[in-house]
A and B are shown apart, each in its own frame.
Chain A
Amino acid sequence: MATVYIPVSPLGAIPAATSAATLTTVLLASAHPVPGLAFDAAGDEAVLFQLDLRNYGSGNLTFAMDWTSPTANSAQVIWGADFLAYTPTTDSGALSAQSFATNQIVTAAHAGTNPQRVMRSSLTISVSALSNDDIVWVRFYRDADNGTDTMPGDAVFIGGTFSYSDT
């Protein structure tokens, strides 16, 4: 048994058709830009990741995400993910008729003292009807209208890794 890791970058995200998180950059001290996806504080925004889960075995999908805040040094963000799997050739439904499974959310706190710290949060995505070699779409969003999302200003996703077991 081994764990399979799929790194994802903000640059590889597919913008949602409406209310998409926007590409941004965070500058390092040397002025080199780190790409990020800015998720608004006042309304839900989302992107999609398309994954090819080769040799998927069993269990849930885990999404370890790195994020930061340009302006907040406390409070918390609610991150969420929806899941959709499609088995090529076998599934007969139209792609446009597919819908996401019930979302999963995680409360992610920004540790105090300084803005622009990078926080790492983990979201366990319960998978359903997932088979080996399925195409998977994960809708990743900030649940900004959730009453417990308290962080003012954008939350900026700068990268993450999906992982799963191959047996």
Chain B
Amino acid sequence: MAVLSNADRADVWAQWMRDNTQPIDVTKQELRAAFNAIDDWVETNSATLNLAIPQPARTRLTAAQKARILMAVVQRRFVRS
């Protein structure tokens, strides 16, 4: 799987800015750089993450299901404490 296209990155970045309700102290260009870097990181580390999932979940869950698990864990750890 490749990194998101430039258009997809722009869509995600734009929607995040619309949804955000918390004060933010970076420019929108600096924010976009963060999105790009995180997408790059996901691309680099997705295989490692997959290998960390024990069997049989690794092979029986779809990529979308594993992505939603990741989202749930990250949200509970960093967004809703």
**What is the interface of chain A, defined by CB distance below 8 A to chain B?**
40-43, 70-75, 115, 149-154
Contacts and interface: CB of A to CB of B under 8 A. Distances in A.
B8 interface: no
Nearest to B28: A152
Q: Which of A75, A153, A154 has the most CB of B within 10 A?
A: A153
Given A75-B28, A151-B28, A40 B18 contact: yes
Given A74-B25, A150-B27, A152-B27, 7 more contacts: A40-B17, A70-B21, A71-B22, A71-B24, A73-B25, A151-B27, A152-B26
Given A151-B28, A152-B28, A41 B23 contact: no
Contacts of A75: 27-28
A153 B17 contact: yes
Contacts of B31: 152
B22 A42 contact: no
Contacts of B18: 40-41, 153-154
Interface of B: 10, 13-14, 17-18, 20-29, 31
B19 to A, nearest CB: 10
B17 A42 contact: yes
Contact of B23 (A115, A149, A154): A115
A43 B14 contact: yes
A43 B10 CA distance: 10
A152 B18 CA distance: 9
B14 A152 contact: no
A41 B29 contact: no
Contact of B29 (A71, A72, A150): A150
A152 B24 contact: yes
A113 to B, nearest CB: 10
A73 B23 contact: yes
A100 B2 CA distance: 43
B24 A72 contact: yes
A71 B26 CA distance: 11
